[in-house]
């Protein structure tokens, strides 16, 4: 059996199978079976979803780590927001949104999250702001 070892800093958060865990001290975890998790800067709080791309990321995050019913609803919400954004994009700037829509499925939600995070970084670099939380 393979395992994954994660090292988390004091104050970091982790979402593991829907449960939010905040680390009071530095910790080293070993996951020995399949689990859906996000940690550190991958975790977005609802109040940080301040742009359309961030709102999509947050909905995808909820679909990835939420329960079955919550996950389905969040995935529908994310796909709806992506569709709205696609309709408003100019032809040359649609590529990432099209790819994001294609990845926005229950089976590929983690890949969709990765792409959305890259899109957030690109937006913020273009706007001249700091790294997203």
* Measured distance CA(2)–CA(67) in Å, rounded: 25
The rounded percent of the chain whose pLDDT value lies above 90 is 65
Residue 108, pLDDT above cutoff 60: yes
Residue 130, pLDDT above cutoff 70: no
For the four alpha carbons of 50, 80, 125 and 14, in that order, the dihedral sign comes to positive
pTM: 0.83
How does residue 40 score in pLDDT terms, banded at 50, 70 and 90?
Answer: confident
Predicted confidence at residue 132, as pLDDT, reads 45
Give the model confidence (pLDDT) of 43-80 as tens digits: 999 999 999 999 999 999 999 998 889 999 999 999 99
Please give the biggest Cα pair distance in the chain: 48
Residue 93, pLDDT above cutoff 50: yes
The answer to whether the CB of 52 falls within 8 A of the CB of 81 is yes
Instruction: For residue 128, give every residue at least 6 positions away whose Cβ sits within 8 Å of its Cβ, in sequence order, or none.
Output: none
Predicted confidence at residue 127, as pLDDT, reads 80
Count of Cβ atoms closer than 10 Å to residue 12 Cβ: 17
Predicted confidence at residue 64, as pLDDT, reads 93
The answer to whether the CB of 120 falls within 8 A of the CB of 132 is yes
Q: Where are the alpha helices (DSSP H) in 32-94?
A: 52-65, 68-88
Question: Mean pLDDT in the chain?
Answer: 89
How does residue 129 score in pLDDT terms, banded at 50, 70 and 90?
Answer: low
């Amino acid at each position: 059996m393979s395992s994954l070892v994660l090292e988390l800093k004091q104050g970091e958060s982790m979402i593991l199978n829907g449960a939010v865990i905040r680390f009071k001290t530095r910790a080293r975890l070993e996951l020995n079976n399949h689990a859906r998790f996000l940690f550190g800067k991958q975790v977005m709080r609802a109040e940080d979803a301040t742009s359309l791309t961030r709102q999509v990321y947050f909905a995808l995050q909820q679909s990835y780590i939420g329960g079955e019913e919550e996950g389905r609803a969040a995935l529908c919400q994310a796909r709806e927001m992506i569709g709205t954004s696609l309709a408003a994009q100019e032809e040359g700037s649609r590529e990432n949104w099209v790819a994001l829509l294609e990845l926005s499925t229950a089976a590929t939600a983690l890949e969709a999250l990765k792409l959305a995070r890259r899109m957030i970084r690109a937006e913020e670099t273009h706007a001249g702001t700091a790294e997203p939380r």
